[in-house]
Amino acid sequence: MRLLAAIVLLAAAAPASAAQFVVDVSERTVAITAGFTGAELVVFGTAAQAQGSVGEEHGVIVVIRGPEQPTVVRRKERQYGVWANHGGVTFPEAPAFVWVAASEAFADRPLAEVLARYRIGQDFLAPTPAGGDIGALDMFQAALVRRKQVNGLYSAEFGRVEFLGEHLFRTRVMFPANVPVGSYRIEVFELRDANVVNVTASALHVRKAGLEAAVFRFAHDFPILHGLVAIVLALMAGWLAGAVARRT
């Protein structure tokens, strides 16, 4: 109901004769609790240009990314009959999550091709490593993206942006159960022919809530005490299991 009301307000505020580029999201915070299995959000708004009125390549692309964090990609090699990690590359600012959606004009074309043409999101397709020149860099970059895609954290292809009439659009984004906590950036681009004509960005936060949040804060604020508590609990669980086994 809240989302429907927001879309209606956007429609009222942006009549067809004087539409503006306005974007919003159904929720600004994703709460991760003990039973978290994923979350769905809706990004919606109005495009300044009417859908299909100019050229074949008019539409909207939505990119959600974050948080940036150091990521190490290692290469396994067989040595003395044993597979082991040998060498690696550190990407200091690789986004932990990237999701991309596009309207009909772009959605059926390869994701990398469209993003490269409009220079959108290239740092997640080819993140910059730490240090200088590194041999076989393309291989490590491809391995990073492939690993993220397998875990459901990077888009392998476009999601769909739907137009509801000439100006109103929306898209649904799914956050998987393993989505990292942190701050995310929502970027929405309005494209016309070979140009980005409008762009807007806003923040989104993924946070732990309830008991999960309390344990998370305790572990980060008091790591030594957290470790001691974990050891004590493990010893108590072992003693209790042994006592039950002896009685039976």
Give per-residue pLDDT as tens, 4-35: 445 444 444 444 445 688 999 998 888 888 78
What type of residue sits at position 213? Answer: A
- Average pLDDT for 167-195: 90
Q: What is the pTM of this model?
A: 0.74
One DSSP character per residue, 12-44 reads: HHS-GGG---EEEES-SEEEE-TT---EEEEEE
What are the pLDDT digits (tens) for 199-248?
Answer: 999 999 998 876 665 666 666 677 787 677 778 778 888 888 777 777 76
Name the pLDDT band for 97 (thresholds 50, 70, 90): very high
pLDDT score, position 248: 66
131 has pLDDT over 70: no
Most confident of 29-38, 72-81, 88-97, 177-186: 177-186
The per-residue DSSP string of 202-240 comes to EEEEEEE-THHHHHHHHHHH-HHHHHHHHHHHHHHHHHH
Given a contact cutoff of 8 angstroms between Cβ atoms, the answer to whether 57 and 106 are in contact is yes
Please give the torsion angle defined by the CA atoms of residues 63, 64, 67 and 71, in that order, rounded to the nearest 10 degrees: -50
The residue extents of the domains of the chain are 2-208, 210-248
The token pair at 220 is 């980060």
Nearest-angstrom CA–CA distance, 223 and 175: 28
Give the Cα separation of 232 and 224 in Å (integer).
13
Query: Roughly how many angstroms between the first and final C-alpha of the chain, as a whole number?
Result: 57
Instruction: Provide the 3-class DSSP secondary structure of residue 145.
Output: helix
